[in-house]
Structures are given as structure tokens and as C-alpha cells.
Structure 1
Amino acid sequence: MMDFSLIAMQLFSGIALGAILVMAALGLSIIFGMLGVVNFSHGAMFMVGAYAGLWVASLTGSFWWGLLVAPIAIGVFGMAVEFLLIRPLYGRSVDDPLLLTFGLGYVLVEAVRIIFGSDGIPFPTPTHLRGVVNLGIGYFPIYRLFVIGVVGAILLTLWLLLEKTKFGLIVRAGARDPQIMRVLGVDIGKVWLLVFGLGVGLTALGGVLAAPMRTVNPEMGSLVLAEAFVVTVIGGMGSLAGSVVAGLVVGIAVSMTSLIAPEMAQIVMFALMALILLIRPQGLFGKSGAHA
């Protein structure tokens, strides 16, 4: 019989993993939900965010500068991608931006490989976030608790932005009927630009947060892209609440499975996705027949 403290600590590990999955899926969900664009360069943006955070931290000697600067810089890069590459494809087949971002992902991976090499680079955990803390049921890494706290703060801020501000109202209305928003005099192109930048910035932030727990390498985005799509599909395409719930569920499922049957840990998320699709094809929080 398993010890209760072991199960409890594994559950906490699942929540920490789920927090990273939530960050990975949020950007994908926001961009699809608001713009209807399936961003296949999502995993590459996550990877570029990790490298940008590592580079800034190495230049400044501070993890905090990397955590702050990298998401903003990659978010601005995402805005440039939307304006220069994706915007001309609006109104055309949904396959066009999908194929474009698919190719962009490969370009980013190869560019990073040329600049930084193919070998993985460790991202050291900040000194004051190293070690473990006693939670009463066992010892848990301080950095993972930090990640859970940061993701919680980001989710609260994002909810307030989208639900309690004029910008959030415009974003939600624009997702439902952009034509009406244009008639009302709203520059919907500017809104989409900001939304795409926000989605990419959140993805890059997830990359920086995950970097100390994973080796930073050019291929790290491939698994993240698969994980993000699994979480997004389970939660419901375009549903932010669905991304949060599904990310935590998948993280806990993977963590608990690795305790019971480690060889099945990487399969359980795909099995869970298949089960959800059979029972509820639109996902847990998705709307049937709608993309948002």
C-alpha cells in the first residue's frame, strides 16, 4: 500500500506540471478563440521564449530580468508575425495560416540551432528558489511552488483583463462578430494584433518558467506543441477556462500515472484526449459548432 505522503506529493507534482501545461495551452487557446488561427509555430515560440530567457539571464546575471524581458520581446515578435505574415491571409482558407505557421515553426527551430547549437543548455534555478520546503505532508521543491504561484497570478490577471476591462469586452465581442465591431468604429486589426502578441507572450513566459525544470534545446517545442493541443482539445478549442481545467487534469493524470505505471505516463494524456473526444467531441468547455 502506498504511503499517503507519497501520493500527496505526487499530486502536488501533477499540479506543478499542470501549471506549465496551462501556460503552454493558454496562448494557443487565446489565438484560436479570438482570431480563429491555429498557430502551429506555438511550440517553437515556447522554445524561443526559453532561449530568450536564458540569454537575457546570462547577460544580466538575473533570472528575474529573463522572466520579465523574454515574454515581452517574444510577444512583440509575435505581433510582427501577425502583421507581416498572418494578416494578409485573413479571409482565405483556414489551411493557409496553419501551413504558414507550420513552416515558421521549422524556420525558428533551425535558426535557434544555428545560433545556439543543437546541444541542450541547462537553465540554472535561481539561488533563492532552490531547495525544498516542508508542506506538512512532505518536502516539495520551492521552484515548483513558485511556478504554481506565478501561473495562478497570470490567470487572475488575464481573467480581470478579459472580463473587467473595456479591452476585454472589445476582444470578446470581436471574436463573436468582427464585422459589427468594424461598423461601430473599432479597429479590429489592432485588437487582433494585440491578442496575437498576448498569446505568443504567454507562450514565451511558459517557456521561461519551464526552462529550469527542462533542458533548453531546439527540439523542446515539439513535445510542448503536442501537449498544448491535447490540453486545448480536451478543454475545448478556444475556451480559456477549458485550457486551465484540462491542463491541471492532464498534469495530475500524467504525474499519478508515472507513480503507478511509469511506462504509461506519456500515453495517458492522449488516451484521455481520445476518451473525451468520444464522449464530448467539442471538449469539456467547448461549444458545438463554434470555434470560440
Structure 2
Amino acid sequence: MDVELIAMQLVAGVALGAILIMVALGLTIVFGMLGIVNFAHGALFMVGAYAGLWVASLTGSFWWALIVAPIAIGLFGVIIERVLIRPLYKRSPDDPLLLTFGLGYVLVEAVRIIFGSDGIPFSTPQALQGVVDLGIGFFPIYRLFVVAVVAVVLLALWLGLEKTRFGLIVRAGARDPLIMRVLGVDIGRLWLLVFGLGVGLTALGGVLSAPMRNVNPEMGSLVLAEAFVVTVIGGLGSLLGAVVAGLLVGIAVSLTALIAPEMATIVMFALMALVLLIRPQGLFGKTGGGA
């Protein structure tokens, strides 16, 4: 098999992995910090794509959509946490799960009523159209742009969580909220910000993916499955795990598509099953969950 072809598939796998990382980040952050499995994740991803489409149609600019839509949907996430999820924190862990599961259906039906069921194309911005010669072959400029954006987001998250006072408080609050309350930290406000951040990142993933996917009310279903595969393989709540698992799954799917295209979709679930058999908590997960 041609070496350059394999190299191009590896590059394509990294690009796909970057998209999967972006898809899983919001789910990972919310579970890692709040312990909530957000089953509305796919629907919020879809809402982010539609919000980006709407902003782009109003402003004529993809760049405004990339900025405004995640902020707006992040604020929507803040409302969701404050009004719907916060009253359930002291109840069974199943209650927030069931609530977000139902919320996902509500969001999908609301979008279907407003925008219809047909898919809507989202044009790639002119500056990012075309391909670039990597020396081993030609690759879409937009996919390289997505890789760059995901790298910047990951760097910003790492700096924010590891190098700032806010990040220290977030990590401490995730481990022992009672002690943080005793120290005078408003845990409610902290969880509000974390949930809003997770939803905003999910919406950003929706906007970034929109030019590569047909924007439609059902687009979040596959995304939810992909997000869970990545988070389970990496370890629930682990940001490092989400990054490693996203790249691993992306490369595995890309190489499988080269050898056996009909198995490309199945391989991610097979990989998840293999990891669970060997290490049930995931590659970087901790027994009992946690960040």
C-alpha cells in the first residue's frame, strides 16, 4: 500500500479526531466537574449549529457565527442549569439524567417546528475553501482550521484549569464541594459557570462541524453517540482522556475506512468495547468517576 496514502489517512484521522475531541469536550467537562451525564449534549450541539447558521445568515459572516453562537448557547446553558438542573442536585443521580434526556427531545422538536425537518447547507467561509498541499497530498484547508481551533481551545482550557485561581477553585470544588462551601466559595455560582462553559463548547463544536455536516434536527443523535464513545474510552470526566481517545478513535476510523470502508463506523464501538474489557474506567478515568 502506498506510504503517502497511509500518511494522508493519518492526517485525516487527526483531523477527524480533533472534531471528536470538540464534540466530547462539553460532555467531559460537565461530568468531570458536576458529575452530571448530560443526555441533551447532542441536541445542544445541533442547536449550536442552527444558532451559527442563523447568525451567519444575519451578519453574512461565519466569523461572527463562530463567536456569537457559542456565547449565546452557553448563556442558554446557564439558564438550563439554574432553572432545571440545580433543583435536582440533592436528589437521585438518575433525575438529572432523565431530565436532560427529555430536554434533548424537546430541543429537537422545537428546532423542527421553527426550521423544518429538511437539512440546511452551511457554506464554508471563502477564506477557508479549497485544499493545501502537505507534501504527501492535498488536504482541505477547513479541516486544518478546525484542528487549529481545537488546539487553541484545549490550550486555553488547560491554562484556565491549571494556571489560574478560578481553575484551582473549580478543581477543588469538583473534589470536595462541602469544604469549599465552608471556605466561603459560592459553589452554586461555580457550577453555573462550569455548565455554561460545557454547553458553550458543545455549541462551538456544532458551529465548527456545520460546514462539514448537513445542518438538520437529527444531527445531534450521531454526535451524542460519538461523544459517549470518546468519553468512555478516555475515562468519564478526564480532559486528557477525551483528547487521547478522540485522536485514537479518529485515526482508527480513518485507517479502517482505507482498508474496509464498511467497517469504519463500527470500529469506534469495537474499540470502546475492547477498552472497557481491559480497563472498565477508561484509559485515564478514575474508579468511581471524577475529574
Q: Please give the TM-score of this superposition, normalised by the length of structure 2.
A: 0.99
After the TM superposition, which residues 144-183 of structure 1 pair with which residues of structure 2 at under 5 Å, given as runs?
A: 144-183=143-182
DSSP 3-state at the match of 1:288: coil
CA distance in 2, matches of 1:23, 1:41: 16
What's the counterpart of residue 126 of structure 2?
127
Offset of residue 6 of structure 1: 1.3
What's the counterpart of residue 113 of structure 2?
114
CA distance in 2, matches of 1:259, 1:106: 36
What's the counterpart of residue 204 of structure 2?
205
Q: Please give the TM-score of this superposition, normalised by the length of structure 1.
A: 0.99
After the TM superposition, which residues 1-292 of structure 1 pair with which residues of structure 2 at under 5 Å, given as runs?
A: 2-292=1-291
Deviations, residues 84-123 of structure 1 (Å, cap 9, x unaligned): 0000000110000000000000000000001111011110
CA distance in 2, matches of 1:211, 1:252: 21
Deviations, residues 144-202 of structure 1 (Å, cap 9, x unaligned): 00000000000000100000001000000000000000000000000000000000000
CA RMSD of aligned residues (A): 0.6
One-letter amino acid matched to 1:270: F
Give the aligned length: 291
CA distance in 2, matches of 1:255, 1:21: 12
One-letter amino acid matched to 1:142: I
One-letter amino acid matched to 1:104: L
One-letter amino acid matched to 2:201: L
DSSP 3-state at the match of 1:123: coil
DSSP 3-state at the match of 1:121: coil
Offset of residue 75 of structure 1: 0.3
One-letter amino acid matched to 1:234: I
For the 8 Å contact 2:237–2:289, the answer to whether it is kept is no
CA distance in 1, matches of 2:10, 2:52: 28
Offset of residue 9 of structure 1: 1.2
DSSP 3-state at the match of 1:65: helix
Identity of aligned residues (%): 82
DSSP 3-state at the match of 1:267: helix
One-letter amino acid matched to 1:55: W
CA distance in 1, matches of 2:257, 2:194: 36
DSSP 3-state at the match of 1:266: helix
For the 8 Å contact 2:22–2:202, the answer to whether it is kept is yes
